[in-house]
A and B are shown apart, each in its own frame.
Chain A
Amino acid sequence: MDCRKVSGLLSPYLDGELEPSEKNIVSSHLKSCSACRRELAELQAAVQIFRQLPELAPGPAFRPRLRERLARESRSLPAGVSGSPAAFPIGGQALPSAPRFPVDKAPATHSAESREVPRWVGLRAVSGLFRSGARLWPKLAVATILLLAMGITSLWYGLAGPGLVPKLPVERLAGLPSQPKYEEVRGGRAEPAGSPERKASDAAGDDLSVVSSPEAGRPGLLASAPQGVPAPEQAPEDGQSASKKYPAETGHALAEQKENQKDNAGRQKIFLTAPPAPSESTPEPAAAAAAAREKENPADPGAAPKEVKPAAFPVGQGKGYRRRWGNCRRNVGRPGSPAQKIGPAGEN
């Protein structure tokens, strides 16, 4: 056997942990190899050093502190501590011999008493809740931040204008009479209550100021123009009124408009009503709408698609959008206006 292999066996040789055959081989090699003998001597000296190391004692407070910790942990963790019934009574009831804290590879024992639900189970659950609270803090913090952000956002929208916050048509879905829904346009054009346009549209059962909802078939929603397409330029490509594309509860819309006229006589509002139901025979509303448009813009009677009134602005757009398109609506038909520059789809 060469020196390298013997060197690997010197440690167990020193401890007497080699097989007899290996031990004989190493012994015979050591007789003939001085280098390995020296190495064995160094190894023995190194091991001897450990024997000369002094034994250390912990500080005087070690045992009192340990006892205090044991008592504390016994009280807080009754299920994991082998507390004697006399040692750690809680609420006048002795602790049962509970399952022990398992050491690695040591199977935990469960006594018969531990299968019953003792009184301290609740205490243990509460203490576990407090302990797990440390892990819950980050989640709570994130939830709080989200709630604050939502609150601030809703507050901002509330200040920006009541119409910007979409409302679900709960009343309509329930078939109950709903509160009038409208969108106020600051500086924009709207049909005042009792105006000829309103009357005409009321009579025709059409609503010129209807907002074209992208969610067709959802009457009563505070509708918005299709996203990405500015409402003023939303001209029907096939020459039909945009309102024809959407179903409506026309009778209900009329009643709602009348209510709104009463309530909001002093304010400029555009009433949001359900778009009319899609039907192929709606010449009357279309004619009434055309008449209204001609009345409004007599200078440009031929530009019917351009004059389709965008009743409201897309939901969720900010003040700037409203201001810009409000002006645009005022300037509809005027030469050089943004709306005219852009024109209906297909013109540019």
Chain B
Amino acid sequence: MDLAELIKKSKAGDLDAFEELVRLYEKKVFTLVYRFVGNWADAHDLAQETFIKVFQSLPTLREDGSFVAWLHQVTANVCRDELRKKRRQPKASLDELMTSSGGIPIPDQGDGCPETALERWEMSEAVQGILNSLADDYRLILLMREVEGMTYDEIAAALDISPGTVKSRLSRARQAFKQKLLAQREHFRLLPRLAGKEG
């Protein structure tokens, strides 16, 4: 069953078709929300929230619209709502006090080498730590651009800001991320350019 057929059936309320749609995009959505909130349990909740909104809002999706771009937009909106909630009710969750991995299995990189896999996993956690330390707006725009690969126009539409603002905010976010990355360059020796800076 192709994507258009799945969307059509999901619009009609077919939960089996929608579950298939979820299976196709759950990693994308989950990765983005996990990178955004930085912990396992909240990421699950936000991903579920995202797909519930997707299911409820599917009839508003235009026939000629891009489902992936629309999915990014819904995910970004859920993340923004979470930001607003966090700003209104600042709280320290137990999950945040625990290690950021929170039981995430180390992803298999395919080369079969456990050392490389561990190194990559450590690097991933270090990047996550840097992301968590960034301002919420910077983190969100970075993830939308670098993880989701959204265009400037898509980001502008999703965040309800002008493309010029996207340009300047993304530039500042990248600069902030780079500065923190350089401060922890020992974690990133796999990257030749940053590793070369050490010497």
Contacts and interface: CB of A to CB of B under 8 A. Distances in A.
A56 B124 CA distance: 11
B146 interface: yes
A49 B12 CA distance: 41
A239 interface: no
B130 to A, nearest CB: 9
B57 A46 contact: no
Interface in B61-116: 73-74, 77, 80, 104, 107, 109
Interface string A35-67: 000000111111111111111111100110111
Nearest to B23: A63
A82 B55 contact: yes
B152 to A, nearest CB: 5
A10 B171 contact: yes
Interface in B148-199: 152, 160, 167-168, 170-171, 174-175, 177-178, 181-182, 188, 190-191, 193-194, 197
B30 A57 contact: yes
A55 B28 contact: yes
A60 to B, nearest CB: 11
Given A50-B127, A55-B28, A102-B57, A82 B191 contact: no
Contact of A58 (B14, B26, B59, B190): B26
A70 B15 contact: yes
Which label, helix, strand, loop or mixed, suits the secondary structure of the B interface? helix
Given A12-B167, A52-B123, A103-B53, A62 B15 contact: no
Contact of A107 (B12, B60, B175, B182): B60
A148 to B, nearest CB: 33
Given A51-B146, A53-B127, A103 B57 contact: yes
A242 B42 CA distance: 79
Contacts of A42: 178, 182, 193-194, 197
Nearest to A85: B13
A73 B52 contact: yes
A106 interface: yes
A50 B31 contact: no
B105 to A, nearest CB: 9
A7 B178 CA distance: 13
Given A42-B178, A42-B194, A58-B26, 9 more contacts: A7-B175, A10-B171, A48-B191, A56-B34, A57-B27, A67-B19, A70-B18, A81-B55, A103-B74
A59 B105 CA distance: 10
B60 A17 contact: no
Nearest to B40: A59
B13 A88 contact: yes
Interface of B: 11-15, 18-19, 22-23, 26-28, 30-31, 34-35, 43-44, 47-48, 51-53, 55-60, 73-74, 77, 80, 104, 107, 109, 120-121, 123-124, 127, 142, 145-147, 152, 160, 167-168, 170-171, 174-175, 177-178, 181-182, 188, 190-191, 193-194, 197
Nearest to B32: A56
A130 interface: no
Contacts of A69: 48, 52
B27 A46 contact: no
Contacts of A103: 53, 57, 60, 73-74, 77
B104 A50 contact: no
Contacts of A9: 171
Contact of A55 (B12, B31, B43, B47): B31
B26 A63 contact: yes
A6 to B, nearest CB: 11
Interface string A18-50: 000000000000000000000001111111111
Nearest to A64: B19
Nearest to B58: A82
B28 to A, nearest CB: 7
A100 B197 contact: no
Q: A-B pairs with the 3 shortest C-beta distances? A: A84-B13, A101-B56, A50-B146
A126 to B, nearest CB: 21
A71 interface: yes
Given A55-B27, A56-B30, A82-B59, A11 B167 contact: yes
A59 B44 contact: yes
16 contacts: A9-B171, A42-B197, A45-B194, A47-B174, A57-B30, A58-B27, A58-B30, A58-B43, A62-B30, A67-B15, A71-B15, A87-B15, A97-B59, A101-B53, A101-B57, A102-B60
Scoring B60, B73, B107 by chain A CB atoms within 10 A of each residue's CB, the highest score goes to B60
B167 A17 contact: yes
A105 interface: yes
A105 B124 contact: no
A109 interface: yes
